Structure 1
Amino acid sequence: MDRARLALVGLSVGDALGQTCFQGHNYEAILEDPRATARAPWPFTDDTAMAISIYDVLNEHGRIDQDALAQRFAARYKAQPWRGYGGGAHRLLSQVGSGFPWRAAAENVFPGGSFGNGSAMRIAPLAAYFAEDDYSVVAEQARLSAEVTHAHPEGIAGAIATAVAGACAWKNRSQCAEAATQRELFDAALAHTPAGQVRDGIERARTFSFDLMTEPVVRLLGRGAAVVPFDVSTELIVRLLGNGSHISCQDTVPFCLWVAATHLHDYQSAIVQTIRVRGDIDTNCAIVGGIVALAVGEQGIPNDWLAQREELVV
């Protein structure tokens, strides 16, 4: 549970700071000086609220009990529906809170089920809790957690990929600045993420990290393109990996894994880079913050950021 709390702290600070950056002036200020943040306290959003529910269920059951998790999600939503939940979450959690079976709700709220990035934004405490286990255990528990709200395979894949990446960050925390660790994060995620668009995007992110002008990237950018590593435009990042603008796992998880892997040793830089690309800023920062915190520890999170986030009660 200490690991799970660390992940929750990293996720919540990213979430809360990211939410302030939807205010234009704070977005610009953060990029110029990471210490120039919005006035405290920074309220967290549904990203953190749902992560707390996962934390609570793990604390009580030692695993993902899907019925218990559905009820936790619904109860926390009912208590604070203003946290920034999306339209689909409003409908689904209202139904579950009214006694409608969660599985039926998850299958019916969206045709074919949701592939929104909510399954990934909340997963860091689970990644941490099972980080000493085999990745297959992490993946299975992530699948169970995602199914409560996300019946679409891509929604489940996003949760699995993010959870495995977080577990990898913990396992390799002593060498998180090394390129081999960055590669392992991608390789572990790819080894356990089911085939589909999320996995394809992670493949692209891995290529983007280590060999920018391989054939998949050339096809996207054109034969005449030239890219200089470590000086990458935000436009290129969005074209290749997405930035969460579509609120989907396909458009969010590959980008977040790329930022986390390439800034695994530096929480502040990881969050600033995430903010720079805009998109679904609070959710992106929650995903990245949860992963990177498991590599750097709470001491790696800027003290002033931590102090300014709304207090967590868990």
Structure 2
Amino acid sequence: LAARSRGEAAPARADFLRAVAERLPDGDVRSGVRIAARMPEHTSVRHAAEVLGSGYRMSGPDTVPYALWCAAGHLDDLQEGLWVTVGGRGDIDTTCAIAGGVIAARTGVAALPPAWHAAREPLPPVMT
């Protein structure tokens, strides 16, 4: 959904999350994404992490809804989306990987700050 929206205005957070939820099988992750879609726009990161979970239980239902909530609010700003995701604490590696992957699907690698791109580890020859 993020990649398909490239070149268009970013969908509203709630609209994006509802569209994601529609494509998920019934279960705890889908329920969590639906809850995320209903959160008021002014919801703080800490409150979202408390309600949705941010990875302390190391499970899909405890990471995916929060990470998607973070990504959906920053679909055009990879750097800000990652910093917001970090604000929820929890399993930061996992939630940032999810949120960053979703945002990058929309923005592409050109959205990486040049300093980040320059500081990355070299990719193996197979990956270049």
Q: Into which bin does the TM-score normalised by the smaller protein fall?
A: 0.7 to 0.9
> Equivalent of 1:312, from 107, 123, 127?
123
> Equivalent of 2:23, from 178, 192, 207?
192
List runs of 5+ in structure 2 lacking aligned partners. Answer: none
Match of 2:90 in 1: 279
Match of 2:105 in 1: 294
Structure possessing the higher relative contact order (Cα contacts under 8 Å, 6 or more residues apart)? 1
Matches within 5 A, 1:1-314: 168-179=1-12, 182-208=13-39, 212=40, 229-230=41-42, 232-234=44-46, 236-313=47-124, 314=127
Conserved? CA contact 1:177–1:264, under 8 Å? yes
1:174 is displaced (CA, Å) by: 1.6
Bigger Rg, which one: 1
Q: Which amino acid aligns with 2:104?
A: A
C-alpha distance in 1, partners of 2:9/2:54? 24
Matched length: 125
1:245 is displaced (CA, Å) by: 1.3
1:231 is displaced (CA, Å) by: 5.9
C-alpha distance in 1, partners of 2:92/2:22? 27
List runs of 5+ in structure 1 lacking aligned partners. Answer: 1-167, 213-228
1:176 is displaced (CA, Å) by: 4.4
Moved more, 275-284 or 261-270: 275-284
Aligned-pair identity (%): 38
C-alpha distance in 1, partners of 2:112/2:9? 15
C-alpha distance in 2, partners of 1:308/1:300? 15
Q: Which amino acid aligns with 2:82?
A: I
1:304 is displaced (CA, Å) by: 0.8
C-alpha distance in 1, partners of 2:101/2:52? 19
Q: Which amino acid aligns with 1:200?
A: S
C-alpha distance in 2, partners of 1:253/1:185? 14
1:233 is displaced (CA, Å) by: 4.9
Q: How does the TM-score come out when normalised to structure 1?
A: 0.38
Q: Which runs of 4+ in 1 moved over 6 A?
A: none
Conserved? CA contact 1:176–1:295, under 8 Å? no
Indicate the SS of the match to 1:273: helix
Superposition RMSD in Å: 1.6
1:238 is displaced (CA, Å) by: 2.0
C-alpha distance in 1, partners of 2:100/2:45? 22
Give CA deviations for 1:99-142 in whole Å, capped at 9, x if unaligned.
xxxxxxxxxxxxxxxxxxxxxxxxxxxxxxxxxxxxxxxxxxxx
C-alpha distance in 2, partners of 1:169/1:200? 20
The structure carrying a bigger helix percent of its residues is: 1
